[in-house]
Amino acid sequence: MTTIKLDDIPDLVKSNKLSKQEACVQVYYTLYTNPARFGLLDMDEDYRSDFLLHFLQHKTNNLIQNYNPDISPFGAYVYKTIQTARLTFKKNFTDKQNYNTLFIQDSIYAYQEQLEESATSVTKIASPTEEFSQVQSEEKIPSLVYKQLFTKQPHRLCKAQSQERRLKRGILILALKSAWYISDEQIHKVSKVCNISPDVITQSVCHLKSLLINKALNRQLIEENRNRAYSFIHNYRMQLQNPDRDKDQLKLTQINKKLQFQMENWNKKTQKLQSGKYKISPTNSEIGKIIGLPERLVSFYMRKIKEMDSETISSII
């Protein structure tokens, strides 16, 4: 990913040198890699990651579209917008946490209808990023950096060197496969083992994350529905274990039917989450495009590192 100065983005979009989607990802990448510049260091890593992905999905497109160059530079505009957005995100996050807590508590005592009714849901800008340049050093272009690791050597390697090279390839691919979950600390560990700049790996991770937003939202929806079903199950079991005196047998039968329905619903959602279909990870094809490999070779290297025993890996690392 080419590093672009924030203030240049609106002009690049206007002159069609940068698409709106590319501009949104560039804004996200700048925020992700420069948290101190935008006053985001007080957030823990997971919370900041969730916030920035939310910002990428819901804010960046309008951010670029509504920008007025006569009022302020684009970098200052982004800084001001991110401060407002983080307050809104924090409020919604807190409201959601409070709601989830109350929802589970209410499910112990309330009927399904009552539960459904209750379902509502600054550091100044630091030094600017590097000037936009069409020419990058090869050390910063992911495809060229990765090519050095995956290109066949002109001379035959000994067994130990061959295993080490195969391990580095597998570790890099597994790291990219885990793009949604990988931490900065883990990126630096992969960087050290593979002898690849952490900035290059971070660029690739950011790009893959931007492709995984819909997958993450779909999984989140299934998880919320599963948790909701579990709350109903707990509620109905409590009612059956401690029936009110005014509940007749027909009412208890209806509650039992609702319990069975929600148990089936919970099992279906759990099976979906346990299947690989809703896993938040990039496809081998998407990883291959970043590395510059066919999909089949990505699968090959993943299989090879899984076949390595722990002792061999420990001796190499």
Averaged pLDDT of the chain: 77
Distance CA 238, CA 241 (A): 5
- Which two three-digit tokens encode residue 74? 């684009």
User: pLDDT by residue (tens digit) across 25-47?
Assistant: 888 888 888 888 888 888 887 78
Q: What is the pLDDT of residue 95?
A: 55
Distance CA 86, CA 148 (A): 40
User: pLDDT by residue (tens digit) across 52-108?
Assistant: 888 887 788 788 888 888 888 888 888 888 888 888 887 776 655 544 444 444 443
The angle formed by the CA atoms of residues 281, 94 and 41, to the nearest 5 degrees, is 65
- What is the residue whose two structure tokens read 């050095």? 148
Burial (CB count within 10 angstroms: exposed 0-12, middle 13-18, buried 19+), residue 24 = buried
Alpha helices in the chain (DSSP H): 9-14, 20-33, 45-58, 60-65, 74-109, 112-117, 142-150, 159-177, 184-194, 198-211, 213-241, 249-274, 284-291, 295-307, 310-316
Q: What is the pLDDT of residue 193?
A: 86
Q: What is the pLDDT of residue 23?
A: 83
Q: Are 225 and 97 in contact (CB under 8 A)?
A: no
Listed in sequence order, the residues at least 6 apart from 314 whose beta carbon sits closer than 8 Å to its beta carbon are none
Distance CA 227, CA 233 (A): 10
Residue 232 has phi, psi (to 5 degrees) of -65, -40
Distance CA 317, CA 314 (A): 5
Distance CA 160, CA 145 (A): 22
Distance CA 195, CA 185 (A): 15
Full DSSP string of 146-175: HHHHHSPPSSPPPHHHHHHHHHHHHHHHHH
Q: What is the pLDDT of residue 119?
A: 36
Full DSSP string of 268-296: HHHHHHHSGGG-----HHHHHHHHT--HH
Q: Are 181 and 174 in contact (CB under 8 A)?
A: no
- Which two three-digit tokens encode residue 28? 């996200």
Q: For the chain, give the percent of residues with pLDDT over 70.
A: 76
The angle formed by the CA atoms of residues 13, 18 and 24, to the nearest 5 degrees, is 80
Q: What is the pLDDT of residue 247?
A: 62
Q: Is the pTM of this model over 0.75?
A: no
Distance CA 35, CA 184 (A): 12
Largest CA distance in the chain: 86
Closest Cα to residue 228, out of 138, 97, 119, 75?
119
